[in-house]
Chains A and B, each alone.
Chain A
Amino acid sequence: MADSSNHKPDRRPDRRRLLECMAWAGTGALWTLSGGIASSISLDQAAAAGTRPAGGVTPFTFVQVSDSHIGFKKDPNPDARATFREAVAKIKALPSKPAFILHTGDVSQLSRDDEFDDADQILKETGVTTFHVPGEHDMLDEGGGKAFLARYGKDAKGDGWYSFDHSGVHFVGLITVKDLRAGGMGHLGPDQIEWLKADLAHRPSSQPIVVFTHVPLWVVYQPWGWGVDDSEQALALLRRFGSVTVLNGHIHQVLTKTEGAITFHTARSTAFPQPVPGTAPSPGPMKVPVEQLHSTLGVRSVRVARGHGPLALVDTTLA
């Protein structure tokens, strides 16, 4: 798609400014992460940077999409399938083909087979593998998530968690939407934390870690349940690593937090925005004028360049 250069951000912040303000900005930005320290440059600069190897290691790119909510058809988005197709078009237009895609949950609106089918069909057009973790909307079948697990979690452990390595980076997919309890938020559970402990135990602290899950692993806003009850137990296991990047969806907006060597990045939805925490009576689809919808939706590409090279995140809107 040629439109990314036709819709430049209103403001062109410098690296530091963009890092500080990225939280609510509707702009495309490249995030970089080196030794756990995030920085960012604009999307255009990112494209210009090309594929320069860093630290002698050939970099690779992967993509994060989130909250496609296939089946959603209410204000402000009458067709979440259409906007998901636009997101896929953005992915196909990336300067370098991603190694894979991470979908951080809420693939569907109501866990219906046809919704999952359509999501799969649309994503297939990218020609690359997608790794999934479920959102709460993907757990609404009779079996409370069994349909999702049967479709996407064949090699997963427990309720669907798993890990894999790619070019020296360790990727961990966590489940934060299973067995939720009254009055609580997202939840990992002791079995999953035990598994995570074993999964990380023998890894060198120098290995970059990418954790991906649906609900943010830090408490963004408790009154709306935007956090995970027992996330601290997982974070405690991750603190010894020099570079940890936590990617999630759920809140349909870009927010970032750095805590030591751990950086947290929430992602945009491809379906609809949600309000800034505390600025509305409740979470849920935020009504925006139709001409503004696309600037609230987006995809994220992440570039990994080990050694001195940073792990870079580019948030691109569908505008």
Chain B
Amino acid sequence: MHVQYIGRVRVAAAILALSLAPLAPAHAAPAPVTVKIDNFTFTPQVITVSVGTTVTWVNDDDTPHTVVADDHKSFRSKPLDTDDQFSFTFTTAGSFGYFCSIHPHMTGKVVVKPN
């Protein structure tokens, strides 16, 4: 019974959160951030942004690279040839590790802070 009660509270909280979401004040989108891919390195390797930030990776190398979330799902670029870029907007707070799936020793992280 007790468990059921907690479950109901959680469901109610979730519904409340969903219903409030569209009412949140419309902030201007945070300034976009660029990560360079150069010399088989993501630069800066770790970035901290706020929710809603669009991050763009630009490949400056003569070698193709990818940008793939550590979980292989959250975000995943196609192979980026020289000068190609990939953008992703982070809509949830958290720490998102990523790597180049072609050269997996290349790693980076996006820390997304709540607004």
Contact = CB atoms under 8 A, between A and B. Distances in A.
B104 A284 contact: no
Contacts of A180: 101-102, 104
Interface in B59-80: 61-64, 70, 79
Q: Which of B63, B70, B99 has the most CB of A within 10 A?
A: B63
Contacts of B70: 182
Interface string A75-118: 10000000000000000000000000000000001110000000
B104 A283 contact: no
Contact of A182 (B40, B61, B63, B107): B107
Nearest to A144: B101
Contacts of A283: 40, 103
A315 interface: no
A185 B64 contact: no
A134 to B, nearest CB: 12
B16 to A, nearest CB: 36
Contact of A284 (B63, B81, B98, B105): B63
B99 A182 contact: yes
A74 interface: yes
Contacts of A74: 62, 82
A224 interface: yes
A225 interface: yes
B45 interface: no
Nearest to B82: A74
Interface residues of B, number: 21
A110 B79 contact: yes
Contact of A223 (B62, B81, B102, B105): B105
Given A180-B101, A183-B107, A224-B105, A282 B62 contact: no
A281 interface: yes
A282 B104 contact: no
A224 B104 contact: no
A282 B64 contact: no
B99 A110 contact: no
A282 B39 contact: yes
Contact of B61 (A111, A185, A284): A284
B96 to A, nearest CB: 11
Q: Which of B39, B61, B104, B106 has the most CB of A within 10 A?
A: B104
A109 B64 contact: yes
Nearest to B68: A182
A136 B62 contact: no
Interface of B: 39-41, 61-64, 70, 79, 81-82, 97-99, 101-107
Interface of A: 74-75, 109-111, 136-137, 139-140, 180-185, 222-225, 281-285
The 6 A-B pairs at the shortest CB distance, nearest first, are namely A225-B105, A182-B99, A282-B40, A282-B39, A180-B104, A140-B79
